[in-house]
Amino acid sequence: MTRYILKRLLWAIPLLLVMTFLSFAILQLAPGDPTQMFLDPTMSAKDMAQMRQNLGLDQPIPVQYVKWLGQMLHGNLGYSYQTGKPVLESIMERMPATLILSASSLFLIVVLTFFLGIFSGARRDGFWDNVITIFSFLGMAVPTFWLGLMLILFFSVQLNWLPTSGFIDASVAEDGFFPVLLNMLSHAALPLVTIVLGSLAKLTRFNRFGVIDVLNQDFIRAARARGLSENRILYKHAGKNIALPIVTLLGLSLPDLIGGSFVIEYIFAWPGMGQLGIAAIFSRDYPILMGTIVMSSLLIIIGNLAADVLYRYADPRIGMDAA
Amino acid sequence: MTKKFQIISLLLLACLCLQSCGKSKKIGTGAWDPDGQLVINIGGEPSYLNPILARDVPSSEVIGMVFNGLLKVNSKLELVPDLAHRYTVSADGRVYTFFLRKDVKFHDGHPFSASDVIFTFSKILDPRTNTVRRSDFVIEGKPIQFRALDPYTVQAVLPKPFAPFLVHMTTGILPAHILFNQDINTTRFNRQPLGTGPFIFDKWRSGDYVLLKRNPNYFGTKPKLAKILLRIIPDQNTALLALQKGEIDETNIPAKDVENLKKHPLFRIYHFQTLQYNFLGFNLKKPLFSDSRVREAIAHAINKPAIVKGVLKGYGKVADLPSSPISWAYPPDDQIKKFDFNPAKSRQLLKEAGLLWNGRLKRFEQKGKPVEFTMITNKGNAEREKVAQMIQQFLADVGIKMNIQVMEWSSFVKVLNDPKDPKAFDAIMLAWQLGIDPDALSIWHTQEYPKGFNLIGYSNPEVDTLLQEGREATSNASRKEVYASLFTKIAADSPYVFLYYPESVVGINKRVKGLSEPGPAGMMAEIEKVYVVK
């Protein structure tokens, strides 16, 4: 197992290099550069040229890439063109907000869809299955931004239960762990509900089909013949079998965990990676973009590796070479 | 187990709700709250909180409260003394002498002096500094020389007279004692600024808020607010909901929402003119638009009052020239050549320009082909896109086909900035934000095409001369005359169809008092006088 993990990690090095090179090249294909994003008559062409030179943008692209790579290998991801802030610091400032939202929403989605999928699949075409199906399709059809705004309107403005937006109130930011945690959770509640409701629908359908498929298999019939209770059959025997696709989903969701959701972050003014990434794209902030890409790539690689290792535990028939 | 879980969940939910309940619906009825906090939305993450590096609106809003310039702009858009208590100008308009206040301290208690002024402007002129303000201090290739005559007197020597110079003296002054040995582009100071202004920087939570607190030692009027929280809420809908809940005290309101929110009990809506004009610009290097009769015909075909009423919901004014009616340089109304909505006159002018009317297809043709052009504009401005569609219809009514191409900002800017002649567009729709000085050389001078902001290739030797005269004239009276003549000449040439001056519409919580008169400087231009009531 250790050998397998080491082998996969060694393979990650050239993979990461290729990814950074391709990303760097693709970024250069987009029109404009950071000095040309403002249309301001008070800026002279000479100032812009000087700034290009200061930022090293006047050099050939391969030279820029090699310089960036050299810096990165020394653990320096450079400075943002837009803020002059170290890239790593910019990313680390935003990462907690994104991780809190993504990890908790992923956890809720996995748990809820697991139970809803089994509940719905076991009552195929029954009343509750139809109710869940209708809500699933509604959830898929409603746009996230609309749902988010409606939740703010109802829970924040009408009921006055929760804050409209933001990460934490400035007034409690220094009040100690629990007040800060509660305040942060009150801010996270609505974005969390929006994400969960939006994703629940699709995955519940996915799991429902998995359960229906498993329930038709011989080993379930055998379990029923042995007189096992329906709950035991559903949650232990069928549940274990639909766990495999969930593990796959978890592995693939890791990049989303740090990528953040731009729409959710934008609506709820949630200071996460999604907003940072989109702002960097629009302002052609290459160092921030490359930093984000490196972090995402690393997590994709680690996520896929973790998923493969977990497969082995979820289904012992899968050997490490096959994984 | 399940019951326990349910109880814990309910308790958690109750705690979360209690966290928020009672924190909103701020309706002020009492007296000045000396511990009051103002909460405003700046709409985006600031870039640099450094006056010589920042070029975005959110940064400028924070910087305006933390730093002072030698001069400042008051709510009437006049330049008034700030860190300099007075200044003199030599008879030839080349030497400005600023006499600095002696009672000013930076937020860390260090006294302010001439060395800070010299440091700030030398940093701007240093080519290693990533600033876009350098050209403001370079006249015809020669930099302005700054020197300290004594610790409280600074002299600026200009290579030649340059009237807009004074506006640049509103640039915030940096503390030399902190920055003298730091890389100005990457210093931590850019995120933890320290100035002389009425508010002291306290905290910046990236993407969430910037918090400022009162400067008790401020040299000017002592600030009445204890704190200012500048929230970063990028979505306008969310910001509006936050205003309705009372979470924020001020935000912009789109014209379309004004009617619904007019009678809200929590806030008042104010609207005022801005220093901006929107236009449809013609590429004058294209044969179709080189004939002024075609341009005038298009101007007569566009119903500008209908645009102001339909798209701006009345929150704007019809524009006639490249200045703003609230600028001191705006010419007398009777001197302005106006192109009123007149489709019959439009068709007549098109015929005079040699275009043929095809009665069967109800369109103008040239060499057997329909008269057609493509107008480009940027994506992400819903108002502008609606205006473009209205113009398309107005032109179709007189027999001209206008195609609309909405482009992603960077692609749009690339087309406009491309220094080739002619540029690769027929027409553009855009807006220019005007400064408080009427200087417009970079937009209208012949030498500013194709490298520069004369995007359409406009050239008029008389206008070129007036642009130079406007820069060099030393008295406001003579400048007013020059600019009146300049703007009316440009309007008569109709290189743009000047469409409208949009108004700014803001909602401000009723608990906020001490506001300035509604105007382009904003209603919190004199932030130290603003306060909230209990």
Chain B residues touching residue A79 (CB < 8 angstroms): 185-186
Can you give the pTM of this predicted structure?
Answer: 0.86
Given a contact cutoff of 8 angstroms between Cβ atoms, the answer to whether B488 and B337 are in contact is yes
Chain B residues touching residue A85 (CB < 8 angstroms): 186, 190-191
Predicted confidence (pLDDT) per residue in A148-179, tens digit: 999 999 999 999 999 999 999 988 877 778 88
| pLDDT tier, A215 (very low <50, low <70, confident <90, very high otherwise) | confident
| DSSP summary character for residue A143 | -
User: At residue B17, does pLDDT exceed 90?
Assistant: no
| pLDDT tier, B201 (very low <50, low <70, confident <90, very high otherwise) | very high
B130 interfaces chain A, CB cutoff of 8 Å: yes
pLDDT of B10 reads 53
Given a contact cutoff of 8 angstroms between Cβ atoms, the answer to whether A90 and A80 are in contact is yes
The residue type found at B476 is N
Gap between the Cα atoms of B73 and B442, Å rounded? 22
- Locate the domains of chain A by residue range: 107-274
Token pair of A237 as six digits: 């025997």
pLDDT of B528 reads 93
For chain B, give the mean pLDDT. Answer: 91
Report how far apart, in Å, the C-alpha atoms of A91 and of each of A81, A225, B370, B463 are: 14, 56, 54, 50
Cβ neighbours of residue A218 closer than 8 Å, sequence gap 6 or more: none
| pLDDT tier, A319 (very low <50, low <70, confident <90, very high otherwise) | low
Chain B residues touching residue A38 (CB < 8 angstroms): 55, 132
pLDDT of A132 reads 84
User: In terms of pLDDT, which residue wins out, B139 or B173?
Assistant: B173
pLDDT of B97 reads 97
Of the candidates A38, A83, A189, the beta carbon closest to that of B48 is on A83
Which run of H or of E encompasses A17? helix A2-29
Q: Do A266 and B134 touch (CB under 8 A)?
A: no
Which of B63, B227, B238 to probe by mutation at the A interface, max A CB count within 10 Å?
B238
pLDDT of B470 reads 94
pLDDT of B197 reads 96
Predicted confidence (pLDDT) per residue in B214-227, tens digit: 999 999 999 999 99
Token pair of B122 as six digits: 């030398």
Q: Do A160 and B16 touch (CB under 8 A)?
A: no
The residue type found at B95 is V
State the residue for tokens 């908790």.
A104
Cβ neighbours of residue A238 closer than 8 Å, sequence gap 6 or more: A118, A121, A211, A214, A215, A220
Task: Determine the Cα angle at A115 with ends A110 and A118, to 5°.
Answer: 120
User: At residue A228, does pLDDT exceed 50?
Assistant: yes
Backbone angles phi, psi at A174, to 5 degrees: -115, 15
State the residue for tokens 């719905």.
A120
* B317: β partners: B501
Of A190-199, A313-322, B120-129, the range with the highest mean pLDDT is B120-129
Count A/B contacts: CB-CB distance under 8 Å: 182
| pLDDT tier, B124 (very low <50, low <70, confident <90, very high otherwise) | very high
B21 interfaces chain A, CB cutoff of 8 Å: yes
B208 interfaces chain A, CB cutoff of 8 Å: yes
Given a contact cutoff of 8 angstroms between Cβ atoms, the answer to whether A280 and A289 are in contact is yes
The residue type found at A2 is T
| pLDDT tier, A323 (very low <50, low <70, confident <90, very high otherwise) | very low
Chain A residues touching residue B409 (CB < 8 angstroms): 37, 282
User: Reduced to 3 states, what is the DSSP secondary structure of residue A228?
Assistant: coil
Gap between the Cα atoms of A311 and A306, Å rounded? 9
Of the candidates A38, A41, A164, the beta carbon closest to that of B247 is on A164
Given a contact cutoff of 8 angstroms between Cβ atoms, the answer to whether A119 and A133 are in contact is no
B1 interfaces chain A, CB cutoff of 8 Å: no
In words, the CATH class of domain B276-503 is alpha beta
B343 interfaces chain A, CB cutoff of 8 Å: no
- Locate the domains of chain B by residue range: 10-48+57-66+197-249+511-532, 71-179, 276-503
Of the candidates A30, A83, A93, the beta carbon closest to that of B47 is on A83
pLDDT of B36 reads 93
| DSSP summary character for residue B144 | P
The residue type found at A316 is P
User: In terms of pLDDT, which residue wins out, B37 or A34?
Assistant: B37
Task: Give me the percent of chain B exceeding a pLDDT of 90.
Answer: 76
In words, the CATH class of domain B10-48+57-66+197-249+511-532 is alpha beta
Q: What is the mean pLDDT of residues B489-510?
A: 95
In words, the CATH class of domain B71-179 is alpha beta
User: At residue B393, does pLDDT exceed 50?
Assistant: yes
